[in-house]
DNA sequence: CCTAAATTTCAACTGTTATGGAAATATGAC
DNA sequence: GTCATATTTCCATAACAGTTGAAATTTAGG
């Protein structure tokens, strides 16, 4: 993940309604939610919601799939997981910490998707 | 950490020069860097750099201390670590995953500060 | 086909963000 | 005190983000 992608992902999440929508989708898991349901839950006009969901999708934070007339959005956990890794890269100049306490966070699991939803 | 703090932190990092400055400080560790050195490294005017560092400080991502004529900035790892926790809260509706593979990332170490710098 | 429903695209407006030069502030050296 | 250095604050300008209503698009049902 390069800096451009990181900036787009962070920028997408740094907005009240987009952050709320993303959290909603994280909690919804692999089942996801249709655009209309998200808009209703957040009290936003459909056009505004569409605008924000497009921003999240553009950043790779959510994926969309059509199911009949609905467009279902789901969180893409992998992209979010890549953020912290980028931010903490070469933490403290890469100098290994001398104590048993860690300096940098450990890598996160690459697969955060609920198996039950994938099945 | 509440949503307002999260949005400010994410917003602070979602900008080319601020992201670069923050990463520089993460790599500098507890020693930090003076404002002028950061500006020079990033090729920014002093006033622009000051603007961005103020944004990072406002979000709690960096701290500042004066050392003679220099103002030294350092990364505040704790705030950044709190972001992912917020974003992954109640992942997948809080339903525990049925397989051995994890659904949500594990909590990160609260102390990411290099002991060698603190000493 | 024609109509309804779900979503996106477009257009216009408003508010905020990023920028660098100039001036102000704070510290240290002589 | 005076001067040089480091940083911030102020100002004006240019670009971008967020909002909604109306129109266009896509799919489903009768």
Determine the number of helices (DSSP H) and then strands (DSSP E) in chain A: 6, 3
| pLDDT reading at B101 higher than 90 | no
- Chain A residues in contact with B112 by the CB 8 A cut-off are 88, 91, 102-105
Among the CATH numbers 1.10.10.10, 3.30.413.10, 3.40.50.300, 3.30.200.20, which is that of B3-89+103-113? Answer: 1.10.10.10
Span A88-117, mean pLDDT? Answer: 44
Say what the pLDDT of residue A105 is.
Answer: 43
Beta strands in chain B (DSSP E): 33-34, 62-67, 70-75
Which residues on neighbouring strands pair with residue B34, listed in sequence order?
B72
Query: Looking at the domain covering A3-85, what would its CATH class be?
Result: mainly alpha
Q: B96 versus A73: which is more confidently predicted?
A: A73
Mean pLDDT of B98-107: 37
Spatial distance from the CA of A8 to the C1' of C10 (Å): 24
* Mean residue pLDDT across chain A: 79
Helix (H) or strand (E) segment spanning residue B82: helix B77-87
- Spatial CB neighbours of A48, under 8 Å, sequence gap ≥ 6: A17, A39
What does the pLDDT average to over B26-36?
92
Domain boundaries, chain A: 3-85
pLDDT for the residue B93: 63
Q: Which nucleotide is nearest to A39 (CA to C1')?
A: C7
pLDDT at B7 over 90: yes
pLDDT at A103 over 60: no
| Residues B99, B51 contacting (CB under 8 angstroms) | no
For residue A100, the 8-state DSSP code is S
Cβ atoms of A87 and B112 within 8 Å: the answer is no
Contact (Cβ atoms closer than 8 angstroms) between residue A52 and residue A18: yes
> pLDDT tens, A3-43?
899 999 999 999 999 999 999 998 898 899 999 999 999 99
B101 in reach of chain A (CB within 8 A): yes
What pLDDT, in 10s, does the model give residues B51-60?
999 999 999 9
Start-to-end CA distance of chain A, whole Å, equals 28
At residue B98, the pLDDT reads 38
Interface of A with B in 1-60 (CB under 8 A): 3, 6-8, 10-16, 19-20, 22-23, 26-30
Which chain A residues have a beta carbon less than 8 Å from that of B105? 81, 108-109, 112
Pairing status of strand A62-67 against strand B33-34: unpaired
CA atoms of B96 and A114, how far apart (whole Å): 9
Q: Is B88 on the interface with A (CB under 8 A)?
A: yes
Q: Which residues touch strand C (CB under 7 A)?
A: A 34-37, 39, 46-47, 49-51, 53-54, 64, 69-71; B 11, 15-18, 44-48, 51-52, 55, 66, 68-69
Please state, in angstroms and rounded to a whole number, the distance separating the CA atoms of residues B11 and A14.
5
For chain B, what percent of residues have pLDDT higher than 70? 72
């Amino acid at each position: 993940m390069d800096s451009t992608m990181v900036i787009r992902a962070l920028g997408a999440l740094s907005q009240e309604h987009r952050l709320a929508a993303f959290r909603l989708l994280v909690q919804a898991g692999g089942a996801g939610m249709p655009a209309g349901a998200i808009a209703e839950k957040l009290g936003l006009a459909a056009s505004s919601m569409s605008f924000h969901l497009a921003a999240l999708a553009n950043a790779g934070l959510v994926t969309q799939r059509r199911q009949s007339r609905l467009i279902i959005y789901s969180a893409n956990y992998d992209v979010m997981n890549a953020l912290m890794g980028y931010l903490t890269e070469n933490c403290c100049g890469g100098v290994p910490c001398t104590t048993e306490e860690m300096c940098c966070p450990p890598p996160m699991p690459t697969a955060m998707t609920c198996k039950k939803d994938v099945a």
